[in-house]
Amino acid sequence: MEKVNFSRSAITLEEEVREIIGQPHELIVKKSIPFLDEHCKKMISVSPIFFLATANGEGKCDVSPRGDLPGTISILNKHQLVIPDRPGNRRLDSIINILSNPNVGLVFLIPGLEEVLRINGRATIIKDEKILDKMSLKGKTPLLGIGIDVEECYIHCPRALKESNIWNTSTWQKSEDLPLILEVFNDHLKINGVELKK
């Protein structure tokens, strides 16, 4: 199929979108709070996985899944939290983006719960040993942390997770029907001219 020229039917103004979709209910607007209350703190403390959205100075976006033991995110106070940057593949997509654009979004998931917690704020890459030492895992202290100044928190309705049946194991694909990740990895390397020796 040929590439579609999206600009032919593009909507470029919020007024146009609102004319089609309408306005949110007052309760939806007012559920957003500018700090971490006890409910937000509890949700963060029991969440083993979240997604971190960043963009660089040019606006190019990235979303990174972050998994850790529940309770390893440090909540400093009702306005700030710190995410440990655990060893990974060293791409540093999120870190590099934050250096040029501090605006971030986070979505926290809790297994079995269909609502998610969304947090928006501004991030700073930190190397404060006093903070990072408290975030050690298996005897290893993170080299860096991502400090978040919280600007907005709210729970997101359960529709996406409910409709996807994500927590219902009976709907999961059989392992033999799933993509072979090593095959995907090797094929993507080939597209970039790299072929691993067998």
> Which pLDDT score is estimated for 138?
86
Q: Are 105 and 119 in contact (CB under 8 A)?
A: yes
- Whether pTM > 0.85 for this model: the answer is yes
Specify the fold of 33-167.
Pnp Oxidase; Chain A (2.30.110)
- Pick from 98, 104, 50, 101: which is nearest to 73 by CA? 50
Whole-angstrom Cα distance, residue 112 to residue 167?
Answer: 6
Within 12-110, strands assigned E span: 49-55, 61-67, 74-77, 80-85, 103-109
For 68, 94, 145, 151, 177, the CA distances from 84, given in Å and listed in that order, are: 9, 12, 5, 20, 35
Q: Which residues make Cβ contacts (< 8 Å) with residue 54, sequence separation at least 6?
A: 61, 62, 63, 64, 93, 94, 97, 98, 101, 103, 104, 123
- Pick from 98, 88, 155: which is nearest to 126 by CA? 98
Query: Do the bridges between strand 144-156 and strand 80-85 make them parallel or antiparallel, or are there none, so unpaired?
Result: antiparallel
**Distance linking the first and last C-alpha atoms of the chain:** 34
Q: Are 99 and 126 in contact (CB under 8 A)?
A: no
> Which pLDDT score is estimated for 197?
78
> Which pLDDT score is estimated for 151?
98
The pLDDT tens digits along the chain (198 residues) read: 899 999 999 999 999 999 999 999 999 999 999 999 999 999 999 999 999 999 999 999 999 999 888 988 999 999 999 999 988 889 999 999 999 999 999 999 999 999 999 999 999 999 999 999 999 888 899 999 999 999 999 999 999 999 999 999 999 999 999 999 999 999 999 999 998 877
Secondary structure (3-state) at 107? strand
Rg (CA), the chain: 20
> Which pLDDT score is estimated for 186?
92
